[in-house]
C-alpha cells in the first residue's frame, strides 16, 4: 500500500483509494489530507471565497423524502411562500453588499403558477440588480428540484445560469431507501442531463453519513461527480429531523456525531483532490454540527459560502434538518459574522463577481491547455 503522503499527491484515484482517503480519522492523517486539498484548491481555483446569497422562498413541497423536515407530510410546520417583493428585497440587499450571486431555493413544485413565479423572479432580479460594478446584474443559481426539460429551458432563457440538483446518493439502492416510491434515481440523472443540455452550469451533491451508507458508496459518489463533468458541488452531513421517518435512527446518528462531521470534511477534501477545478460549497449543515464548521470546510478545499438571506421570520419553517444555525439572526448580522470568519481563515472574499467555477469557464471557453480541464494556475 502506498503511503498517505504519496496518495494525496496523486492526480488519478481508484475507487479503493478514494474510499481509503475518506475513512481517515487520525489527527495527523486528516491533517495531511486537509493540507493537500487546501493546496490544490489554491492552485486550481485560488484563495477567493465566493458568496451566493441564499433565499429560501418557499417550503411548500410535493415530495416526501424520508430525511427532509419540509416533506409534504410534516404537519408541524407553517407553510409559506414569499411574495415577489420580498424576493426582490433580498436580491437588492444582496447586490448592495456586492455578493455577486444569489441562490433561489424552495420545496419542489411543478405547477404553472410556481414555474411562472420563478421565471418572473429570475427576469426581474437580472434586470433590476444591475450596478456599475456588475452591469449584468446578479448571477442566479436555481435549486428548485426536478422539472421538465421545457421548464429548465424557460428558467435558462429567463436568465438563470447555474442549477443545483443533488443526487443525494448514487447508489440506486440507497436512493430508494431515502425516497418514496414515486421518486427515481434514473429521473434525477435524467434531470441533470437536461440541465446540462439546456445550457446550465450544473451542480450536484450528496448527503454524507446517513445510516447504511459506506465509504465505498461515497467513493462512487465522487466518481459519479467526475463522470457527470459537473461544475459545482454542494454536499453536507446528514442530520436528523425529528418529524421524519428517519428520526427512528436518531440515537445511532447522535453516537456517530464526530465521525460524520469528519467524514463530511474528508468528502470535501477528496472531492477537491479528484475534481480539482470545480466550485465546492462549505454548506450550512456543517455549521449545524460545529459552530466553526463552514470555515473548517473552507480549509478542507471548499471555495463557496451561501450566506442566509431568507427573512428571519420564515427561517424557523425552513429547517430541512435540526440544529440549523442563525435562525434568530438577520442578514446584516450574518454578513458581519461570516466576513470575520472568512478573513480570519486567511481567505479573500470575491465581491461583485459571479464567481463561476474554473471548470465551467474552461469548458465554455475551451482554453484548457492540456485538453483535460486545464492545469493549476500559477500560485
Ligand atoms: N440532513 C442533511 N441535509 C438535508 N437535506 C434535506 N434534508 C436534510 C437532512 N435531514 C439536503 C438535501 C437537499 C438539500 C436542499 O438539503 O441534500 O438536496
pLDDT tens-digit map of 1-45: 789 999 999 999 999 999 999 999 999 999 999 999 999 999 999
Q: Distance between CA atoms of 129 and 160, rounded to whole angstroms?
A: 13
> How many angstroms does the Cα of residue 207 sit away from the middle of ligand 1?
7
DSSP secondary structure string for all residues of 243-296: TSGGGGGHHHHHHTHHHHHHHHHHHHHHHHHHH-SSEEEE-HHHHHHSTTHHHH
- φ, ψ of residue 271 in degrees (nearest 5): -60, -40
Task: Give the residue whose CA is nearest to atom 18 of ligand 1.
Answer: 166
Residue 334 has pLDDT above 70, yes or no: yes
pLDDT value at residue 77: 95
> How many angstroms does the Cα of residue 239 sit away from the middle of ligand 1?
8
pLDDT value at residue 6: 96
Task: Give the residue whose CA is nearest to atom 13 of ligand 1.
Answer: 166
Helix boundaries (H) for 276-367: 284-289, 293-299, 312-315, 331-344, 358-365
* Ligand 1 pocket member 142 (CB < 6 A): no
Atom number, ligand 1, closest to the C-alpha of residue 105: 15
* Ligand 1 pocket member 210 (CB < 6 A): no
Atom number, ligand 1, closest to the C-alpha of residue 206: 17
Among 54, 57, 66, 67, the mutation site with the greatest number of ligand 1 atoms within 8 A of its Cβ is 67
Question: Most distant CA pair in the chain: distance in Å?
Answer: 59
Atom number, ligand 1, closest to the C-alpha of residue 237: 2
* Ligand 1 pocket member 318 (CB < 6 A): no
> How many angstroms does the Cα of residue 308 sit away from the middle of ligand 1?
16
pLDDT value at residue 128: 98
* Ligand 1 pocket member 67 (CB < 6 A): yes
* Ligand 1 pocket member 239 (CB < 6 A): yes
Contact 164, 125 (CB under 8 A): no
Q: Any bridge partners for residue 349, and if so which?
A: 49
Question: Nearest to residue 234, comparing CAs of 261, 274, 257, 264?
Answer: 264
Q: What angle do CA 343, 267, 42 make, to 5 degrees?
A: 40
pLDDT value at residue 326: 80
Q: Any bridge partners for residue 304, and if so which?
A: 50, 281
Q: Any bridge partners for residue 103, and if so which?
A: 54, 141
Taking only the tens place, the pLDDT of each residue in 142-199 is 999 999 999 999 999 999 999 999 999 999 999 999 999 999 999 999 999 999 999 9
Cα-based distances in Å from 41 to 267, 272, 351: 14, 7, 19
Contact 160, 140 (CB under 8 A): yes
> How many angstroms does the Cα of residue 68 sit away from the middle of ligand 1?
6
Q: What angle do CA 119, 350, 346 make, to 5 degrees?
A: 140
Task: Give the residue whose CA is nearest to atom 14 of ligand 1.
Answer: 166
* Ligand 1 pocket member 253 (CB < 6 A): no
Q: Enumerate residues 6+ apart whose C-beta is below 8 A from 302.
A: 41, 268, 272, 280, 281, 282
Helix boundaries (H) for 98-148: 112-128
As a whole number, the mean pLDDT across the chain is 94
Q: Enumerate residues 6+ apart whose C-beta is below 8 A from 46.
A: 303, 377
* Ligand 1 pocket member 207 (CB < 6 A): yes
Residue 379 has pLDDT above 50, yes or no: no
> How many angstroms does the Cα of residue 268 sit away from the middle of ligand 1?
16
Average pLDDT over residues 74-93: 97
Neighbours of 65 (CB within 10 A): 20
> How many angstroms does the Cα of residue 64 sit away from the middle of ligand 1?
12
* Ligand 1 pocket member 178 (CB < 6 A): no
Cα-based distances in Å from 229 to 21, 30, 221, 224: 21, 27, 13, 9
Q: Report the Cα–Cα distance between both ends of the chain, in Å, rounded.
A: 31
Taking only the tens place, the pLDDT of each residue in 105-130 is 999 999 999 999 999 999 999 999 99
Q: Any bridge partners for residue 232, and if so which?
A: 203, 279
Task: Give the residue whose CA is nearest to atom 16 of ligand 1.
Answer: 320
- Angle formed by the axes of helices 215-227 and 257-275, to 10°? 30
Residue 352 has pLDDT above 50, yes or no: yes
> How many angstroms does the Cα of residue 1 sit away from the middle of ligand 1?
36
Q: 279 is written with which cell numbers?
A: 466550485
Average pLDDT over residues 123-140: 96
Neighbours of 110 (CB within 10 A): 13
Among 207, 245, 249, 282, the mutation site with the greatest number of ligand 1 atoms within 8 A of its Cβ is 207
Taking only the tens place, the pLDDT of each residue in 281-301 is 999 999 999 988 999 999 999
Q: Any bridge partners for residue 102, and if so which?
A: 53, 140
Q: 199 is written with which cell numbers?
A: 445550457
Report which DSSP code applies to 170: S
Amino acid at each position: 500500500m502506498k503511503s498517505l503522503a504519496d496518495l494525496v499527491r496523486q492526480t488519478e484515484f481508484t475507487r479503493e483509494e478514494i474510499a481509503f482517503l475518506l475513512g481517515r480519522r487520525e489527527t495527523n492523517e486528516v491533517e495531511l489530507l486537509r493540507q493537500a486539498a487546501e493546496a490544490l484548491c489554491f492552485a486550481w481555483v485560488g484563495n477567493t471565497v465566493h458568496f451566493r446569497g441564499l433565499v429560501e422562498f418557499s417550503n411548500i413541497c410535493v415530495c416526501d423524502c424520508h430525511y427532509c423536515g419540509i416533506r409534504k407530510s410534516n404537519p408541524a410546520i407553517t407553510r409559506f411562500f414569499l411574495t415577489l417583493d420580498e424576493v426582490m428585497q433580498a436580491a437588492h440587499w444582496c447586490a448592495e453588499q456586492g455578493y455577486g450571486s444569489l441562490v433561489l431555493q424552495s420545496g419542489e413544485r411543478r405547477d404553472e403558477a410556481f414555474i411562472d413565479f420563478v421565471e418572473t423572479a429570475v427576469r426581474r432580479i437580472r434586470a433590476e440588480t444591475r450596478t456599475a460594478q456588475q452591469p449584468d446584474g446578479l448571477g442566479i443559481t436555481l435549486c428548485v428540484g426536478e422539472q421538465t426539460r421545457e421548464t429548465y429551458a424557460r428558467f435558462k432563457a429567463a436568465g438563470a445560469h447555474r442549477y443545483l440538483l443533488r443526487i443525494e446518493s448514487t447508489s440506486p439502492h440507497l436512493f430508494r431507501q431515502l425516497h418514496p416510491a414515486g421518486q427515481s434515481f434514473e429521473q434525477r440523472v435524467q434531470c441533470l442531463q437536461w440541465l446540462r443540455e439546456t445550457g446550465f452550469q450544473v451542480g450536484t451533491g450528496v448527503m454524507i453519513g446517513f445510516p447504511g451508507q459506506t465509504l465505498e458508496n461515497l467513493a462512487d459518489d465522487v466518481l459519479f461527480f467526475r463522470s457527470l463533468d459537473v461544475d459545482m458541488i454542494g454536499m453536507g452531513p446528514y442530520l436528523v429531523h425529528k418529524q421524519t421517518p428517519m428520526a427512528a435512527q436518531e440515537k445511532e446518528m447522535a453516537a456517530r456525531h464526530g465521525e460524520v462531521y469528519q467524514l463530511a470534511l474528508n468528502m470535501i477534501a477528496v472531492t477537491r483532490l479528484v475534481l480539482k477545478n470545480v466550485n465546492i460549497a462549505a454548506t450550512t449543515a456543517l455549521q449545524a454540527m460545529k459552530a466553526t464548521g463552514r470555515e473548517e470546510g473552507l480549509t478542507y478545499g471548499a471555495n463557496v459560502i451561501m450566506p442566509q438571506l431568507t427573512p428571519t421570520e420564515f427561517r424557523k419553517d425552513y429547517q430541512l434538518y435540526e440544529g440549523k444555525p442563525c435562525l434568530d439572526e438577520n442578514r446584516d448580522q450574518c454578513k458581519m459574522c461570516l466576513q470575520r470568519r472568512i478573513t480570519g481563515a486567511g481567505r479573500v472574499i470575491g465581491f461583485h463577481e459571479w464567481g463561476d467555477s474554473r471548470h465551467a469557464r474552461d469548458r465554455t471557453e475551451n482554453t484548457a491547455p492540456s485538453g483535460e480541464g486545464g492545469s493549476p494556475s500559477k500560485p
